[in-house]
Amino acid sequence: MTIISMQHLSTPLMLPIMISALLFSAPACSNQTAVNTHEDLTDYKEGQASASESLASTEKPAFITKKIATFDEPWAMTALPAVNNEPPKLLVTQKTGELFIVDTATGAKTTISGMPKVAYGGQGGLGDIVLAPDFATSNHVYMSYVEAGNDTDNNKFGAKVIKATLIGLDTATPRLQDLTPIWEQTPKVKGQGHYSHRLLFSPDGKYLYISSGERQEKTPAQDMSVNLGKIVRLNLDGSVPADNPFVDNSNDIAAQFWSIGHRNVLGMAFDEKGRLWAHEMGPRGGDEFNLIEKGHNYGWPIVSNGRNYTGTDIPDHETRPEFTPPKISWTPVISPSSMSIYNAGQYNDFPAWQGNALISGLSSKALIVVDFDENSRATERYRYDMGERIRNVLNVDGQVWVLEDGDNSGLLQLIPQ
């Protein structure tokens, strides 16, 4: 199959998108800065079929992109509450530790002060940001970032989550205050990869979900005495809900866990039916799209549809039925970096995507659209060649925004055609 390439045009602010149905071959862990030289390997398990073929459709929505603003190493974004049907304002994080308010009508960026000290390097730095469910009255935001250890252990790192109050939104000097710790990865370890640290609130606004990567150490994902390689579920103040699945485990920290056996979860989202979906990067092959269920074990590093960077085999999911298999497994990989469920609101730019998961791809340089049915079967529906590594995708009231990855990266709006 021939790849149709996308060229950046000189037309101001506009970029045509060409569509490719090719399943890309690229490393699953190729985040912006590789922490392990094996991250560049592209081989995958021989005979392993690619995830699921994109469904053919004569109604595949087309779009062009409009560049709104430019960033250096952006990582995440979320939308501030809409005001009088005005174009949305977004909060955008940069790995280097900066947080901005972006006026999407003009592209103007306002820096927010009062940020915590961030340990930047490798795959780490400032991470996710989400508005508290009661943001309209509290002005609380939750943020994740990487911090170093203390003075005697500052070559070890871990993700941390805080709550803060965002004030001065309507001024030229917005800032964070009242920074309050909520959660942290335990233990901190050497290396600067696989933090995950994606944040998500439950649909009822009562619980905070945190993805905690296994920090490239593999075995912590099955270790109930550490919170690495898990999806964590907490009350909004950081305490543990009484109905978490492992509250009676002999390891106190296990009370935090909602699911275990994860590698590097960079996208989580609830669909219209309240089901929790997550994707994670595999090793050499085996990126996963999972339905996350209470107390389930997803098998890493015991099973994977990929293989080790050394080339040695890993048993497939089908060999160990006690572990929950993925709904989709991608080999070659897509390097999924974020996820957002498309729901129409004030706008409905892409009605064909209603209820679907939008997934951004790094090595695949793609936007992937995944559909799921009543029986929780998931299928890749569309794939769009974006021509650049895509770090984040966000649906806002029926409009779609994406962040490119790396230096001099664009905040783009998808404009339907």
- Residues marked active site are found at 194
Answer yes or no: are the C-beta atoms of 129 and 142 closer than 8 Å: yes
- First-to-last C-alpha distance (Å) of the chain: 25
Closest CA to 209 of 182, 188, 189, 191: 182
Residue 199 CB coordination number (10 Å): 22
CB 211 within 8 A of CB 198: yes
Please enumerate in sequence order all residues whose Cβ is within 8 A of that of 300, keeping only pairs 6 or more positions apart, or say none.
214, 218, 221, 222, 229, 261, 262, 263, 280
- Cβ pair 357, 372 in contact under 8 A: yes
For 38, the 3-state DSSP assignment is: helix
Residue (of 143, 153, 130) closest to 95 by Cα position: 143
Residue 146 · residue 96 · CB < 8 Å: no
For residue 342, the Cα-to-chain-centroid distance in whole angstroms is: 15
Question: Quick one: DSSP state of residue 138?
Answer: H
- What are the Cα distances from residue 215, in Å, to 33, 161, 190, 195, 299? 15, 16, 9, 6, 16
**Tokens of residue 330, six digits:** 């991608």
The Cβ of residue 331 has, within 10 Å, a number of other Cβ atoms equal to 23
Backbone angles phi, psi at 39, to 5 degrees: -60, -20
Torsion angle of the four alpha carbons 229, 234, 239, 244, in this order, in degrees rounded to the nearest 10: -80
- What is the spatial distance between Cα 256 and Cα 211, in angstroms, rounded to a whole number? 11
